[in-house]
Amino acid sequence: MDQKAKHTHLIREKAYALGFDFVGISQAKELTEEARQLERWLNQGMHGQMGYMANHFEKRIDPRKLVEGAKTVISLMFNYHNDEQQKDPEAPKISQYAYGKDYHYVVKHKLKELLKYIQAEVGEVQGRCFVDSAPVLERDWAKHSGLGWIGKNTLLITRKKGSFFFLAELIIDLELETDHPIKDYCGRCTRCIDACPTDAIAQEGYWMDASKCISYLTIELREEIPNTFKNQFENWMFGCDICQDVCPWNRFAKRHQEPDFEPHPDLLEMTKQDWEEITEEVFRKVFKKSPVKRTKYKGLLRNINFLKDG
């Protein structure tokens, strides 16, 4: 086994030991085709008020501008699927990914461990860790490294375990053996398109108007939610899992094994009335280290009231 193959094997094994479910490797290069798609998406205003999506365009399409001398993008997937549901069927709903502790910290900690391991085993290796908080086209890199395909709902889907995964990247200046993309297995299925209550997914699929997405409207949007969306949220108050819940590939989803992603004991027990009467104190207790803190107490109240008034 040559050095490149040895290093690749060591990194994969360590990533799996840290709890990552899938590991894929790509050569660091400019994503030319994806750059054109991103530009078209931005020009059509599909990003809504997410102005940061238009920032650092050159870095977003070329990892070598993020890490000097970058040779490799390691893409990793970390399962967050939880099949437990909120006890009260009438309670406003929260997306699975936000049940537990903020994934930015949980997954990034594991990524940093992986980078330290690489540096200890290989030697002088420079790199950076990314978990959904920097200008990296994470789904595209995951696709290029064969972890799955980008489905009609614009999420990365795997044949083995569906799509309930966080994506993360390690961009390093070490050359490794690379993987290859796999084919698209969405076929003629249109379940995600048909199920989206706000028509955020284009009729042909593979194109998302984020400004119509319930996740965007309940998390990213800072102002009042437009009344045109009244009665279209299907009771989602933070995020939305509809296009994943209806995806046939998620019948293979397995429950996560990460203790940090377990929900606060009170979260799934709260009734519709509990949510409508939630105080800032309860908010702080239930969502102490949760991604829900991003929308803040006032933002969550806005979402709950939008559902209630509808």
Please give the positions annotated as active site: 132
Q: Print burial letters for 176-187: b (CB count within 10 Å at least 16), e (below 16).
A: bebbeeeeeebe
Q: What is the DSSP string of 159-181?
A: TTTBT-EEEEEEEESS-------
How far apart are the C-alpha atoms of 24 and 178, rounded to whole Å? Answer: 8
Name the H helices within the chain. Answer: 3-17, 32-43, 57-61, 103-122, 138-144, 191-195, 214-215, 242-245, 272-276, 280-286, 296-309
Residues 138 and 130 sit within 8 Å (Cβ to Cβ): yes
Q: Which residues contact 128 (CB under 8 A, 6 or more apart)?
A: 66, 67, 170, 171
Structure tokens at 159: 């044949």
Q: How many CB atoms lie within 10 A of CB 28?
A: 20
